[in-house]
Structure 1
Amino acid sequence: MSTSNSTPKNSIASEQTDHQITGPHHEPPSVANATTYWRCTSCNRESIREQDLYCEAFHAEECEVADRC
């Protein structure tokens, strides 16, 4: 998966923190069924649906981003 650090506008990721939501990331075309995904840099969970990352239940228990959902 890609390591792009683009920040969506009007998102948790726009806040100045070390832990944020990043994306969209694009898998290289060489990956079968390549897709776009978003990542939480605090708990390292990823989803192809951006809205998943804005739900507290999606994140790991100790995730700092989940506290801002």
Structure 2
Amino acid sequence: MNPSHPTTENRIGSAISIEQHISGPHWEPPTIPNATTYWRCTSCHRESTREQDLHRERFHAPDCEVWP
């Protein structure tokens, strides 16, 4: 098995970890032009206006503990 291509069982285990590291939605202050909501990975601190981005391995930083 290639560790860079996890099996379905490993991905299911990772999905639990992903959910634990997603925080949001966070609301920007109304004083910011075009204020919106966003989600954040609490491990690598990357943010996106689309929650589904946090479920993609490429979104996270290389050293993020969500995708070992």
The normalised TM-score by structure 2 is 0.69
Distance 1:66 1:57 in 2: 9
Provide the residue aligned with 1:23 in structure 2: 24
| 1:12 and 2:24 aligned | no
Distance 1:35 1:49 in 2: 11
Provide the residue aligned with 1:48 in structure 2: 49
CA RMSD of aligned residues (A): 1.6
Distance 1:66 1:33 in 2: 32
Distance 1:65 1:21 in 2: 10
1:13-36 C-alpha deviation (Å, 9 max, x unpaired): 2xxxxxx11000000101110000
The runs of 5 or more residues in structure 1 that have no matched partner are 1-9, 14-19
Higher helix share: 2
Q: Percent identity?
A: 63
The runs of 5 or more residues in structure 2 that have no matched partner are 1-15
Distance 1:36 1:59 in 2: 19
Shift of 1:41: 1.0
Greater than 3 Å deviation, 4+ residue runs: none
Distance 1:39 1:66 in 2: 15
Q: Which has the larger radius of gyration?
A: 2
